[in-house]
Amino acid sequence: MINRKYQRSQSSGKKELETLAEEEEEGEEEGEGEESNSAKERNEQKDATAPMKKSQKKLTMLDRSKYGKYIVTYDAGKSFGEVALVKRESFRNASIIADEDVDLLVIGQDLFNRSLKADQEKEFEEISRFIDRHPFFHSMPNRLKKLLEMSLRRKTYIFESVIVRQGDPVTGLQFILNGQANVTIEPHKHPKQYKHLWPFEAGVDIYSIEFEHLREARRQAILRQYEDPSVWETYPEEVTIRIEEGYPAIEKRMKEKHVLLCSVQKHEVIGDIELLMNLDTHVQTITCTANTDVFILDTKNFDRVVGKKNAATLDIMKEHLKNKLNTRMNMKQGELIPFLKFLYQKLTAETLPQSKPLPPLRTSKELPDKETQIQQLITLV
């Protein structure tokens, strides 16, 4: 009896040990399962982040200089590629590179033909007609005309909106298609805007233009006038005017600070003064007095299509600008804006023959030979 009980207890003990071992094995299997699951999750995360890292590497390694010069940045709502859909013979004239993750709405050829093509064709026809009729572009080669068609964009300004503001950076040319606007200039701001050109009197001095050896001397003489302490203002400008001329003169002078030069409308070109005279900021403020439609040609596109490839167009534009400046500086209000006269003289000075430096003066008192004296007497007679 005793032996049987002992055997039973042994067998039961073995069973308990076996069950414990099975539980430990199951626990190890569960632990291994959890570890394998976590490892799988890590691998999945690595697989998900791998393409992002690769794309980041691609962005950092991309050499953008191979794709040409930077032209313009497209923001949300802008479109590209419509030229190739409207004109079958057209080719891609630019590369589009994403600066960040971008969501695009792609419109296929069939949907484009049904919904957008008619409006796009009408817009391109208007641009083509504008180029063929405008005096700046009508004589350009067809290849450059096609580039210009794809560079111009239309914009509408509502009543009392500012097209350009004096002192703002120049972004390109604008051609008024219809509407009307006022040109306002603040002459007292020009010396600070264009410090490298001031004083403007030196640039329009007739002696310094005709005689090269006098230019720097005349400029220094004009600068000394401004540096002389005897001409420095000891009182604010308004106080001095009130003391010397009275209150009505102050009101008149304040009006002169904002000079309403003229009104412009269809066929006016905005930005030609600044681009052709190499000015970084706008000379004038132009404000709409009616809803105004314009074509815009960005500075980058102007340099790409006109500036470096078409000298004939630049000559036509300079001649047009010369007539514009001559007209505006001779207006009644133009006398209050000395910078216009400076720009006109600067532009016409490029067409004048180059002045020759004077020969050095003789220091000896010896008379020339007889033949030279005879020749001089003949020329006098």
Q: Cα dist. 297→38, 55, 131, 156, 315 in Å?
A: 58, 34, 12, 14, 18
Residue 322: name the closest of 260, 380, 276, 369 by CA.
Answer: 276
Note the pLDDT of residue 22: 47
pLDDT bucket at 13, cuts 50 / 70 / 90: very low
Note the pLDDT of residue 253: 60
Do 131 and 177 meet the contact criterion of CB atoms below 8 Å apart? no
Give ranges for CATH 2.60.120.10 in the chain. Answer: 153-197+255-349
292-298 β-sheet, strand order: 153-157, 292-298, 172-178, 269-270
User: Got the DSSP string for 43-71?
Assistant: HHHHHHHHHHHHHHHHHHH--GGGG----
With a cut of 60, say whether residue 183 has pLDDT above it: yes
Q: Which two tokens stand for residue 233?
A: 């203002």
> Phi and psi for 183 in degrees, rounded to 5?
-105, 115
Q: What pLDDT, in 10s, does the model give residues 233-288?
A: 555 555 666 666 666 665 566 555 788 999 999 999 999 999 999 999 999 999 99
25 vs 116: which has the higher pLDDT: 116
Q: Is the pTM of this model over 0.85?
A: no
Q: Which two tokens stand for residue 279?
A: 């000015």
91 vs 55: which has the higher pLDDT: 91
With a cut of 60, say whether residue 146 has pLDDT above it: yes
pLDDT bucket at 150, cuts 50 / 70 / 90: confident
Query: Which CATH fold would you assign to the domain 153-197+255-349?
Result: Jelly Rolls (2.60.120)
* Single-letter amino acid code for the residue at 124: F
Q: What pLDDT, in 10s, does the model give residues 69-100?
A: 777 778 888 888 777 777 666 667 678 888 88
Average pLDDT of the residues in 112-122:
83
Note the pLDDT of residue 3: 46
Note the pLDDT of residue 239: 65
